[in-house]
Amino acid sequence: MTDLNHTLFTYLHSFTATYPAIIPYVIFFASVFGTLVVVAAILFRLFHRDFKPGTPFSLGNIRYGIGEVITGFLTAGISWLVAIILKYIVHAPRPYLVFENFHSLFPYGAYDSFPSGHATFFMGLATAIFLYHKKAGLWFGLAALIIGLARIVAGVHFPVDILAGYSIGILIALWVHYPVKRFISKLTSF
């Protein structure tokens, strides 16, 4: 498994040597793009309407919106926390610590690589959005995939770090969604 992980990492990271013109794009998608995705998620929630114009305002619409916000915030927070805890437990080194004479495209201070906090957070966020808005969730899922791939190509994560982060993010979103849905339903069924 380690050989496959290292081989796939070396292959993906080699694109920066073969095509140096992609380096600024890789750095953008591996670092700055995530902030834009978070802003887009907040704006989407603020301005998206859960009901069609002309539809009467109902308690169901309020319940739906509250559940979505709680699920999103809890998923994002728990995902990030779980990734940090696992990093302290697993202690998997980043690629620049494994390979001699290797440098990532940008300095990254943390030494523990597994799982990727970015992959966990962004896939959790995408899944939380998907549970309420399928099309938007797919777009946010694509953004999570781009961020994860860019972090491998940039040399700050191995593929297994990203895949584990995606899996954890999805599981946490599902784990949070259903209890929140039941709680909001009970809270508003008066």
Structural domains for the chain = 2-51+58-187 (1.20.144)
What is the tens place of the pLDDT at every residue in 82-109? 998 998 898 888 888 888 777 788 777 6
Q: State the chain's mean pLDDT as an integer.
A: 84
More confident residue, 42 or 1: 42
Dihedral (CA of 32, 27, 4, 138) sign: positive
Cβ atoms of 88 and 82 within 8 Å: the answer is no
Cβ atoms of 26 and 150 within 8 Å: the answer is yes
For residues 114 and 6, give the distance between their C-alpha atoms in angstroms, rounded to a whole number.
14
Q: Output the DSSP codes for the chain.
A: -HHHHHHHHHHHHTHHHH-GGGHHHHHIIIIIHHHHHHHHHHHHHHH--SS-TTSPP-HHHHHHHHHHHHHHHHHHHHHHHHHHHHHHHH-PBPHHHHSTT---SS-----B-SS-HHHHHHHHHHHHHHTT-HHHHHHHHHHHHHHHHHHHHTTS--HHHHHHHHHHHHHHHHHHHHHHHHHHHHHT--
Cβ atoms of 128 and 173 within 8 Å: the answer is yes
Kindly state the average pLDDT of the residues 129-157: 93
| Reported confidence tier of residue 71, pLDDT bands at 50, 70, 90 | confident
Quick one: pLDDT at residue 59? 47
What is the tens place of the pLDDT at every residue in 29-56? 999 999 999 999 888 877 776 555 555 5
Quick one: pLDDT at residue 65? 64
Quick one: pLDDT at residue 91? 85
| Reported confidence tier of residue 1, pLDDT bands at 50, 70, 90 | low
